[in-house]
Structure 1
Amino acid sequence: MENFKRKPLALVLIAAIALSAGAVAIFSSKSGAAPASGAGAAKPALTVTTALPQPLSLPVKLSANGSITAWQEAIIGSESNGLRLIEVRVNVGDKVKAGQVLAVFYEGSVQADTAQARASLLEAQANALDAADNAARARTLERSGALSAQQINQYNTAEQTAKARVEAAQAVLAAQQLRGRQTRVLAPDSGVISARSATLGAVVGAGTELFRMIRGGRLEWRAEVTSAELGRIQPGTPVTVTAASGAELRGRVRMVAPSVDPQTRAGLVYVDLPGSAGMASPAKAGMFARGEFELGTTAALTVPQPALVLRDGFSYVFRLNADQRISQLKVQTGRRVGDRVEITAGLAADTRVIVSGAGFLNDGDLVRVNDASTSNQPAAPASSAQIATN
C-alpha cells in the first residue's frame, strides 16, 4: 500500500523536471539567435590607404660598361745618343706646361763638337774668301791672254768648291747646335706625367722612352655598346659615369666609333670627362667604370613603391573594388624614380590601388579605406588634379 502511494509522487517530480528542461532549451535558443545574426556581417581585414596611378615623364637611360683612358698619350723620348742623364725635374702625376724642361743631359761633349764645327766653318769661310779673290783676278786677265781658259776655269771651280765647303761647315755647326738643344728634354704639350722611365745617371740612346704624358690632362670613358644600341647615341649626348671609387662624373659623347668589333659585336663610344687627370681627380686612366647615357624622356604610368607586392617572382598590385573588396592584379614594372615605379602592363590609368598595407592582404579581402579622397566610398575616375595630388 505504501509503495502504491509513492508512485504518483515520483511521476510528478519527473514531469516537473521535464518541463524545466524544456523551458531552459527554449530560452537558450532564443538568446543565441541574436548573436548568430550579428556574426553574419564580415569585418574588414585591414585599414588601408589608396592612390591612383600617376603619369610622369621619366628619363630614358642606356647603361654600359667601359674603361677610363687618356684622351691622347704622348711618349717623350731622348733625341740625343750616348749622353748621360744628369737631371730629372718631374715625376709621375706632375702637371707640366708646353716647353717646360723635364730632364737634362750632360752637354760637355756636345759643346766641344760645336766648338770644333764652328772652327771648321771659320776655316771654310777664309778659304772661300781667298778662292773668290783668286777667281776674280783670273777673270780680269781673261782678255789679256796671260792665263789660259783652263787656268781660269780652275780658279772658278775652286771658288765654287770653297763656297760648298762653307755651306757644309754651316750644316755641321747647325747639327751640333741642334744636339746642344736636344740635351734639354722639353714637354711637347701641356698635360700630366703618367709614367717615368728616366733614371738619373743613365746613358741612353736616341729614341729611348723617358716619360709618358696625358695630353691636356684630358681623360675619356670608352664605353662598350652593342651594335643594336649604337644608333640611339649621338655626339653631345650627356652621360653620367660612375668610377670604381663611387664618384660620379658628368660628361658628353665626343664620338661614336664608325665600326664594331666583329667578335663581340660591340662598338666604342668616346665620352669626354671633365677636369684634369691629376692626383686629386677621382678618375684614373685604366680604371673600370660604368655609366648611363641620357637619351631623353618618355611618358610613364607610375605607382608608389609600397603599392607593389612581390610574390612568387612576380609583381602585383591590389585594386580597390566598389564593394570595398580588393582584387589582385599581375603587372609588369619598368623604370624606378625615387619612390615611384613605372607600370608597363597590367594596370589601367583610372584603377585605384592599395598603397599602405598591401603586403598584408590577399585577393578578395574586405578593407576599410582611410582615404580623404575616397571617404570610404567606391573609387571614381580621378581628374588630373587628383592624379597630381596623389
Structure 2
Amino acid sequence: MSVSFRMWLPLASLCLALAGCGGDDNAEDAGANATAGMAVTTAPVVRRELASGVTASGPVTPVEEMQLGVELSGLRVTSVNVDEGEEVDRGDVLLTLDARTLESDLAQAQAALREAEAGASLARSNLARGEQLASGQYISASALDELRAARTQAEARVGTARAARDASQLRRDFATLRAPADGIISARLVQPGQVVAAGSELLRLIKDGELEWRAELPAEDLGDVNPGDRVELRDRDGGAVVGTVRAVSPGVDAASRTGTVFADLPEPAGLQPGTYLEGRISTGLATVPVVPVSAVVLRDGFPSVFVVEDGVARMARIERGATDHGFVEVRGGLEPGAQVVTRGAGFLADGDPVRVVEEKPAPAPAAADTADGDTASTP
C-alpha cells in the first residue's frame, strides 16, 4: 500500500497543478467579460436654441354663452321655433307665449289714450274760445284761468294714458322672445305648452358661435405665457386646430397654485363645447440644456437618462421640457457636459457596466452603374 501511494502521489500533484492553471484562465476571462460591458454611444448635455412651449389640457367653452328667458310669469308657451345646434340671427323669434290677456290689456290702454287725447283737444279748443271772449271782456279772468287749468289737466291725462299704453305694449312684446345677438342655440330647456316663470332659463345661446380653450397652468409655467402666443390643439381625429392666447389670469389660485389661460379659436373646425383637449402653447425660442430624444427612457413612469461614469451607467431622473427637432429640453436632473447614453439606453439598468463606442456613420450610397451597364475603363 505504501508503494502504490508513492507511485500515485506525483501523478495527483500534476493533475492539481493543471487544474489550478485552468481556473486562473477562466477567472481572467470572466473578469474581462464583466469589464467590457454593453457597447453604447453617448452624447453630452449641451445648450442650444429650442422652440419652447407649454403643454396643458383644458375644455373647449363658449367665449360668451347667454342664458335666455322671459320677464313674465304664469304664461303658457305656444311655440318654440328653434332647436339645439341651430344658427340664429339677431332679432329672430325664438319662442312665443300665449299673449291674449296681454293683447286685451294693450287694447284697453290704447282706448284710454285716445279718450285722453280727445279730452285734451276739447280743452285746447275751449281755452282758445275763452281767450277770444276775454279779449272782449265777455268772461272774467278767473274763468279764463279755469280754462287754462282744464287744458293742462287734459294734457297730463294724455301723458298718463300714453305711458300706460307703452307699458302694456312692452308687456306684450315680452311675450315674444327674440335672439339678442347672432349665434348658435346650445341648449333648449322648454317645450310648447309649458307654463313659465319670470327669469327661468329657457334657451342658451353661444354668442356669434365663438369658442375658446381654457387651460389651467401651474404658477411656474403661467409666467411664460403671454397674450398673442400661438396655441395648437389636437382634436379626436388627429387634426390640428390653431388658436391664439387672448388673456392670462393675472393671479393664481391660492389652493391649487394654478392660473387660467384663455385662447381664442377663430376656426374651431367642428369642436364641441365641453370637449376636453390637450394643447401646446408656443412661447418662443430659448437657449436651454438639451439631450437627444433617443437618450430619454421611462423608468417607473418617470423620464430618465443614463449617465456614463467610469464605465458604469448611472440612471438619473430628469424634468422634461419641450421637444423640438430631435432634442428634449432638460429642466433639471443633469449637469451641462454630462455624457448620456443615446443608443442602447432602453436595455440598461442602473449600475450596468458599459463600453462607449463611436457611432458609425451612415453607409454611403453605392455608385450607380453606367447607362449601358459597362464599367468605365482607363484608356
Q: Deviations over 1:92-117 (max 9, x none)?
A: 22221111111122333333333333
SS in structure 2 opposite 1:260?
Answer: coil
Q: Deviations over 1:134-172 (max 9, x none)?
A: 111112222444322222211111111111222222223
Unaligned runs of 5+ in 1: 1-24, 30-35, 375-390
Counterpart check, 1:239 vs 2:231:
yes
* Alignment of structure 1 residues 5-84 onto 2, 5 Å: 57-84=49-76
Aligned with 1:153 (options 137, 145, 156): 145
Bigger Rg over Cα:
1
- Which position in structure 1 is the counterpart of 2:22? none
Aligned with 2:337 (options 348, 361, 365): 348
Q: Deviations over 1:66-111 (max 9, x none)?
A: 4433211212111345433211011122221111111122333333
SS in structure 1 opposite 2:68?
Answer: strand
SS in structure 1 opposite 2:249?
Answer: strand
- Which position in structure 2 is the counterpart of 1:363? 353
User: Superposition RMSD on alpha carbons, in Å?
Assistant: 4.2
Query: Would you say the 8 A contact 1:73–1:213 is kept in 2?
Result: yes
In 1, Cα distance between equivalents of 2:359 and 2:279: 43
Counterpart check, 1:120 vs 2:108:
no
Distance change >3 Å, CA 138–CA 64, structure 1 → 2:
same
Identity among equivalent positions (%) equals 32
1:217 positional shift: 1.6
In 1, Cα distance between equivalents of 2:220 and 2:297: 33
1:211 positional shift: 0.9
Counterpart check, 1:291 vs 2:279:
yes
Residues paired across the two proteins, number: 330
Query: Would you say the 8 A contact 2:40–2:354 is kept in 1?
Result: no
Query: Would you say the 8 A contact 1:317–1:328 is kept in 2?
Result: yes
- Which position in structure 2 is the counterpart of 1:85? 77
Distance change >3 Å, CA 194–CA 179, structure 1 → 2:
same
1:65 positional shift: 4.0
Distance change >3 Å, CA 83–CA 340, structure 1 → 2:
same
In 1, Cα distance between equivalents of 2:174 and 2:180: 13
In 1, Cα distance between equivalents of 2:58 and 2:199: 33
Query: Would you say the 8 A contact 1:99–1:189 is kept in 2?
Result: yes
Counterpart check, 1:220 vs 2:209:
no
Counterpart check, 1:203 vs 2:188:
no
- Which position in structure 2 is the counterpart of 1:7? none
Aligned with 2:157 (options 153, 165, 183): 165
SS in structure 2 opposite 1:192?
Answer: strand
- Which position in structure 2 is the counterpart of 1:21? none
1:233 positional shift: 1.8
- Letter of the 2:267 counterpart: G
Query: Would you say the 8 A contact 2:241–2:267 is kept in 1?
Result: no
- Which position in structure 2 is the counterpart of 1:260? 252
Query: Would you say the 8 A contact 2:305–2:345 is kept in 1?
Result: no
Query: Would you say the 8 A contact 1:331–1:346 is kept in 2?
Result: no
Unaligned runs of 5+ in 2: 1-13, 19-24, 364-379
In 1, Cα distance between equivalents of 2:356 and 2:157: 112
Q: Which moved more, 1:336-345 or 1:222-231?
A: 336-345
Distance change >3 Å, CA 304–CA 51, structure 1 → 2:
farther
- Letter of the 1:291 counterpart: G
Distance change >3 Å, CA 246–CA 261, structure 1 → 2:
farther
- Which position in structure 1 is the counterpart of 2:176? 184
- Which position in structure 2 is the counterpart of 1:315? 305
In 1, Cα distance between equivalents of 2:70 and 2:40: 76
Aligned with 1:138 (options 105, 110, 130): 130
- Letter of the 2:241 counterpart: L
Q: TM-score under structure 1 normalisation? A: 0.68
SS in structure 2 opposite 1:58?
Answer: strand
Query: Would you say the 8 A contact 2:306–2:341 is kept in 1?
Result: no
Q: TM-score under structure 2 normalisation? A: 0.70
Distance change >3 Å, CA 358–CA 284, structure 1 → 2:
closer
- Which position in structure 2 is the counterpart of 1:10? none
1:218 positional shift: 1.7
SS in structure 1 opposite 2:106?
Answer: helix
In 2, Cα distance between equivalents of 1:117 and 1:355: 90
- Which position in structure 1 is the counterpart of 2:95? 103
Aligned with 1:270 (options 262, 274, 295): 262
SS in structure 1 opposite 2:251?
Answer: strand
Query: Would you say the 8 A contact 1:226–1:265 is kept in 2?
Result: yes
Query: Would you say the 8 A contact 2:75–2:195 is kept in 1?
Result: yes
1:311 positional shift: 7.9
SS in structure 2 opposite 1:62?
Answer: strand
Distance change >3 Å, CA 308–CA 101, structure 1 → 2:
closer
In 2, Cα distance between equivalents of 1:87 and 1:140: 60
In 1, Cα distance between equivalents of 2:102 and 2:285: 67
- Which position in structure 2 is the counterpart of 1:302? 291
1:309 positional shift: 7.0
- Which position in structure 2 is the counterpart of 1:382? none
SS in structure 1 opposite 2:149?
Answer: helix
- Letter of the 1:316 counterpart: F
In 2, Cα distance between equivalents of 1:170 and 1:131: 18
SS in structure 1 opposite 2:145?
Answer: helix
In 2, Cα distance between equivalents of 1:190 and 1:213: 9
